[in-house]
Amino acid sequence: MTVTIGRRELLVALGGAAAWALSARAQQTGKIPTIGLLGANNAAAQSAWTAAFLQRLREIGWSEGRSVAVEYRWAEGRSAAGLADELVHRQVDIMVVNGTPQVLAAKQATSTIPVVFVAADPVGTGVVASLARPGGNLTGLSLQQTDTATKRLELLREVVPGLRRLAILADVSTPTSALEMSEVEATAAALGLEVVALKVRQAADIAPAVETIKGRVDGLYVAGAPLFTTNRVRIHTLALAARLPTIHNFRELVEAGGLMSYGPNFPDLFRRAADLVDKILRGAKPGDLPVQQPTKFDLVVNLTTAKALGLTIPESFLTRADEVIE
């Protein structure tokens, strides 16, 4: 009697070591491995990151549409849990996920499909047990978002030497954004700064929150969150109207008009995520691959915004910047 075992069941039964052999055989029969890419924002906001990921895949032998397929899901305005379940239902061979809520949703949705994440504080938010030994079916890259919060506040103080009152905008529905707010509040208190916490949960909360600080603070710290990346133009417009210098995690918000940012280089992180995908497709178990830390951080300054705010950025500061937008 012949017993037929489904492709997904075979992957689960044999584990990561068999995945590459199965993928190779699938290519011979015209069925190529499928990557499920779950993004925290929308396609436009993450275009540079996705392009870096696909470029690196091509460099190491994986061409989209020829040797690998990619199923895209974008979390803007949609349930992270629902999107993760969709990819599991599609029986993708591996998931690439960014944004802590999306990563947590992927972890909840599957314990067998490998997941490569780009996420802030994966240990603090319970994504993995440890960076060195993530265990289970997940590995990826950390953003060190909370670890670099103090650095961002120091940079803002350099550019705004009279900074005495600080507003912190955080999406408290995103665990890492709330953690970052707490870190900044503690640092600000140690420096003797007065702090106004702006806690939001959705796009409609942003404008009313910023309206409450007009004329009351000297600067605005925007904690990292997909909500703010998606609404970056709105935040810039509101901050400029309130004459507020801003500091961000990601260059995309400075490109949209924010004053400056300091944080990991996301295209570089997504290139490194492609390397992890390659290793897993070739048989490595995700739980055996240590979570990697960022190695490239960018300081980006928008001189056009500085001029609009009447700020003079010291030349010594500009020479340290990785990018100056004019």
pLDDT, tens digit, 9 for 90 and up, residues 157-212:
999 989 999 999 999 988 889 989 999 999 999 999 999 999 999 999 999 999 99
- Overall CATH class of domain 149-264+298-325: alpha beta
The band of 249, judged by pLDDT with boundaries at 50, 70 and 90, is very high
Predicted local distance difference test score (pLDDT) of residue 30: 59
Domain 7-143+265-295 adopts which CATH fold? Rossmann fold (3.40.50)
Q: CATH topology of 7-143+265-295 equal to that of 149-264+298-325?
A: yes
pTM, whole model, 2 decimals? 0.81
Terminus-to-terminus CA distance in the chain, angstroms? 72
Which has more confidence, 244 or 173?
A: 244
Give the residue extent of every domain in the chain: 7-143+265-295, 149-264+298-325
Residue 143 in this model has a pLDDT that exceeds 90 = no
Predicted local distance difference test score (pLDDT) of residue 123: 86
Residue 310: CB partners within 8 Å, gap ≥ 6? none
Nearest-angstrom CA–CA distance, 276 and 286: 8
Burial 278-292 (b: 16+ CB within 10 A, else e): bbbbbebbbbebebb
